[in-house]
Amino acid sequence: MAAGWLDEYTGAYLVNENPKIPVLYTLPKVHKDLSGGILVSAHGGILEPLAKYVDHYCKSSIEDIPTCLKDMQDFLSKIHGLFLPNFPVNFTTIDVKNLFTIIPHNVGTEAIWIWLSECKKQHGPPIEFLVECLEFLLNHNYFRLEFFFLHTTQGDSDGISHGASLC
């Protein structure tokens, strides 16, 4: 707050006075094999407000990248306006599996740095501050599995607020 990037209201929002411990669990996927999706529920965690803060400023800038697709509806709306030539065209699709969990922290933060630096409408706190917050989140993302506390050293969990910005 001393640097002027956070007002009093935002500073108060970032303090979670009654945090919950993030917990690992699996979510069965009825449309896939029996392995299920592994999630970390960070809802109510001590870092959730900071993760939402970072995601708020990163998401709008990243969604403006021409190659960014939010979902299938976004893809369909983008190809609807394309001019297709009069000869046969082949479309190729990919299904990214476990993207959140395979992005190395340094690669993800470097990509965020580059995208925010190139973004024309980036607003809010300085990019350096946002990236520093993101690095803090990635390096302090502890969760509980039964009686053990674990730390993710690569990638991010599906249930983390700032995960969307990394993808």
Closest CA to 46 of 148, 142, 133: 142
User: For 34-46, how does the pLDDT look when each residue is reduced to its tens digit (9 = 90+)?
Assistant: 666 667 777 888 8
The predicted pLDDT at position 166 comes to 47
Task: Map the chain to HEC letters.
Answer: CCCCCCCHHHHHHCCCCCCECCEEEEECCCCCCCCCEEEEECCCECCHHHHHHHHHHHHHHHCCCCCCCCCHHHHHHHHHCCCCCCCCCCCCCCCCCCHHHHCCHHHHHHHHHHHHHHCCCCCCCCHHHHHHHHHHHHHCCEEEECCEEEECCCCCCCCCCCHHHHC
At 167, is the pLDDT very low, low, confident or very high (cuts 50, 70, 90)?
very low
Share of the chain above pLDDT 70, in %: 78
Ramachandran angles phi, psi of 17, nearest 5°: -75, -20
At 155, is the pLDDT very low, low, confident or very high (cuts 50, 70, 90)?
low
Mean pLDDT within 130-149: 87
Closest CA to 46 of 24, 15, 23: 15
CA distance 28 to 36: 4
CA distance 119 to 1: 25
122 vs 98: which has the higher pLDDT: 122
The predicted pLDDT at position 145 comes to 81
Give the highest mean pLDDT range of 26-35, 65-74, 154-163.
Answer: 65-74
At 86, is the pLDDT very low, low, confident or very high (cuts 50, 70, 90)?
confident
Q: Cβ contacts of residue 26 below 8 Å, gap of 6+?
A: 36, 37, 38, 39
